[in-house]
Chains A and B, each alone.
Chain A
Amino acid sequence: MMEVREDAVAHTAPGASGGDASGGAAAPLLRVKDLHVHRGEAHILHGLDFEVAPNRVTALLGRNGVGKTTTLLALLGLLPSKGQIEFDGEDISPQPTHRRVQGGLAYVPEDREVFTQLTVEENLRLAMQWPESEGRLPMVHDLFPELKKRSAQKAGSLSGGQQQMLALGRALLHPAKLLLIDEPTKGLAPIIITEVVAALSQATADSTVLLVEQNLRVAEELATDAVVLDEGQVAWRGRMDAMLADADLKQSLLGVGRARPAGEDGRTRSAEGDGRARPDEGADGSEDTEGGA
């Protein structure tokens, strides 16, 4: 495991500074070290290490159930965790959730979690607690005109896509340093996905985002960097395009690209308990793309 991480870091850094001259100079905005999460008796995250570079979109990828949502919840303090979460130069792990958010995190949860009993306007008003929020409201309304039109409507009566826009708009009212977005396209019709992705790429230009996304195409469109989780650990880190170029990597870590269903693949692996084989694959994969790039 150590081996891979060093390797991945080694080639991320040149990639970041070389490929993107404008954004690569600064230190990472978020640095996670040895993050562990237990839920009941289940040990879900086994010591994650990763970083999120400023002004870039980092995709957090992996199969269903590897702990992506858990990672976001732990970063927010909504789940108890062990380990270090260094955000903007400060270890925020002892802070309660609301402090972390006040410190510059914003969150768009999986399944939207808008307040269904409140109106659209009230949902947004709840989020307007920062000095900058007033100035950001027109931007949110421009981005999602639907929200302005339906401001008196109960959020519970919105369609899935509209609720997603509300959840995004709510987060964008916060002048956050880091946006945590969990599966923004989950359960949406393809045509709505296009709309949401367009709005997302517009809204997240120049901001720092950690994005959980199952839909690889969406991740590809939005993200520049990728962190891939497997079995509660970081299996691969690097540039998004490098990962996408590697079919073996995609197949082994994300279960895409072959006919075999992901679930079956995953089960075989865990049954063998081959904790070492995958990191090696990951390392191989990254070396390959390094050569290619």
Chain B
Amino acid sequence: MSLQVFVLLTVTGLGLAGVYFLIASGLSLIFGLMDVLNLAHGLFFTVGSYATWWVMTRFGFIDSLALRFAVAVIVAAAFGLAVGWITERFFVRRFYGDHVTQILITLGLSLSGVALIGGWFSYDPQTFPLPELFRRVVLIAGARIPVSRLLILAISVVLLAALLTFLRRTRHGLIIRAGVENREMVQAMGIDVAKSFTLVFAIGGLLAAIGGVLGAVFFAGVTPEFGLNVLVFAFIVVVIGGLGSVEGTALSAVLVGLTQQYVNFFAGAGIGDLTVVILLAATLLLRPQGLLGEVAR
């Protein structure tokens, strides 16, 4: 293969990895801390992408598309934060210790939320104008790389760094990391873990919603059901990376994103997705706890 193709595929694959990471990291933390499989996480993503579409098409009073996009990111983040908070506070919290009910509730929220968005804005794909800058290309090693790809990559890396800093440098982060390992012991140290639950859901919602913004740019449009499709790959990323490990999730997102791009390009559309699933099966057979996971659950 030519170097140009390889570079383009790599940048695209890394961009996809960024989108996967943003949705998978929250999922992984929520699961690690609370043992909750949050099926509504795809909805958080969809909320983010529709917030982008909404701002980009309805905020005509902001002339500059670049500025409008910046507003879209903030609006999406705010919506994601709110939806995550509401999900934990009013739905999941009532059923601590009852994992099946929690899963069922997030499932119901996910389906009705998607249908709500579909009912409001139709199930047809919607497109929106992007800042002119995004459509420019830069030459990297002879390959023409769209700026939007690089931007997606940059935002994902910044958010990864921010998340790791938060987890490593703040007291809330410390409590979350400790809680992922041993929730009861954190309580036994006099810390109200339930506050961290809400926080993790809100952060997860925010990250997934920004993932939705980037996903809308990456796939050049929005549809209500898209979040669920991405959620499936986020699950794969979470399991391969090791439940509860942010670093593992990042690593596995890169692995999955690149594999998918390379194989889809060289072997045909769809084969890359299949390969990723085979990767998952191999991980389960060889290392059920995931790449950086500590214990099998």
**Are the chains A and B members of one assembly?**
yes
Seen from chain A, the residues whose Cβ lies within 8 Å of a Cβ on chain B are: 76, 78, 96-98, 101-102, 107, 109, 113, 115-118, 122, 125-127, 129-130, 170, 174
* Other contacts beyond A98-B190, A116-B294, A130-B190: 12, CB < 8 A: A97-B184, A101-B189, A102-B190, A115-B182, A116-B181, A117-B181, A118-B174, A118-B181, A122-B177, A126-B189, A129-B190, A174-B190
Give complex CA distance A101, B185 in Å.
Answer: 11
Interface CB pairs A-B, < 8 A, 21: A76-B188, A96-B192, A97-B187, A98-B190, A98-B192, A98-B193, A101-B190, A113-B185, A115-B178, A115-B182, A116-B294, A122-B177, A125-B174, A126-B178, A126-B186, A126-B191, A129-B189, A129-B190, A129-B191, A130-B190, A170-B189
**Number of contacting residues on B, CB 8 A?**
19
Question: Do A117 and B177 touch across chains, with their CB atoms under 8 A apart?
Answer: yes
Whether B17 is near chain A, meaning CB under 8 Å from some CB there, is: no
Whether B175 is near chain A, meaning CB under 8 Å from some CB there, is: yes
Write the B163-180 contact mask toward A (1 if CB under 8 angstroms, else 0).
Answer: 000000001001101101
Instruction: Identify which of B178, B188, B193 gathers the most chain A CB atoms within 10 Å of its CB.
Output: B188
Q: Closest approach, in angstroms, between the C-beta of B178 and any C-beta of chain A?
A: 5
Residues of B within 8 A of A127 (CB): 189
Residues of B within 8 A of A174 (CB): 189-190
Q: Which of A78, A116, A118, A130 contacts B188 (CB 8 A)?
A: A78
Write the B54-73 contact mask toward A (1 if CB under 8 angstroms, else 0).
Answer: 00000000000000000000
Q: Closest approach, in angstroms, between the C-beta of A160 and any C-beta of chain B?
A: 17
Residues of A within 8 A of B189 (CB): 101, 107, 126-127, 129, 170, 174
Interface residues of B in 186-216 (CB under 8 A from A): 186-193
Residues of B within 8 A of A129 (CB): 189-191
Q: Which of B174, B191, B294 contacts A98 (CB 8 A)?
A: B191
Residue of A nearest to B192 (CB): A98
Question: Do A97 and B188 touch across chains, with their CB atoms under 8 A apart?
Answer: yes
Question: Do B178 and A101 touch across chains, with their CB atoms under 8 A apart?
Answer: no
With A98-B192, A98-B193 already in contact, the answer to whether A118 and B187 are too (CB < 8 A) is no
Q: How many A-B residue contacts, CB cutoff 8 Å? A: 59
Give chain B's interface secondary structure class: helix
Q: Closest approach, in angstroms, between the C-beta of A110 and any C-beta of chain B?
A: 11
With A109-B185, A113-B185 already in contact, the answer to whether A118 and B177 are too (CB < 8 A) is yes
Residues of B within 8 A of A125 (CB): 171, 174
Give complex CA distance A117, B189 in Å.
Answer: 17
Question: Do A115 and B294 touch across chains, with their CB atoms under 8 A apart?
Answer: no
With A109-B185, A113-B182, A117-B294 already in contact, the answer to whether A122 and B191 are too (CB < 8 A) is no
Question: Do B185 and A115 touch across chains, with their CB atoms under 8 A apart?
Answer: yes
Q: Closest approach, in angstroms, between the C-beta of A163 and any C-beta of chain B?
A: 13
Give complex CA distance A170, B192 in Å.
Answer: 17
Q: Closest approach, in angstroms, between the C-beta of B248 and any C-beta of chain A?
A: 12
Give complex CA distance A187, B13 in Å.
Answer: 50
The 9 closest A-B pairs by CB, nearest first: A101-B190, A97-B187, A107-B188, A98-B192, A102-B190, A115-B178, A113-B185, A98-B187, A115-B181
Residues of B within 8 A of A109 (CB): 185, 188
Q: Which of A76, A78, A107, A122 contacts B174 (CB 8 A)?
A: A122
Instruction: Identify which of A97, A102, A113 gathers the most chain B CB atoms within 10 Å of its CB.
Output: A97
Residues of B within 8 A of A76 (CB): 188
Residues of A within 8 A of B184 (CB): 78, 97
Interface residues of B in 277-297 (CB under 8 A from A): 294
Give complex CA distance A78, B183 in Å.
Answer: 11
Q: Which of A78, A117, A126, A170 contacts B187 (CB 8 A)?
A: A78
Give complex CA distance A101, B188 in Å.
Answer: 6
Q: Closest approach, in angstroms, between the C-beta of A22 and any C-beta of chain B?
A: 29
Give complex CA distance A52, B238 in Å.
Answer: 48
Q: Closest approach, in angstroms, between the C-beta of B90 and any C-beta of chain A?
A: 20
Residues of B within 8 A of A78 (CB): 184, 187-188
Residues of B within 8 A of A117 (CB): 177, 180-181, 294
Give complex CA distance A220, B181 in Å.
Answer: 35
Residue of A nearest to B189 (CB): A127
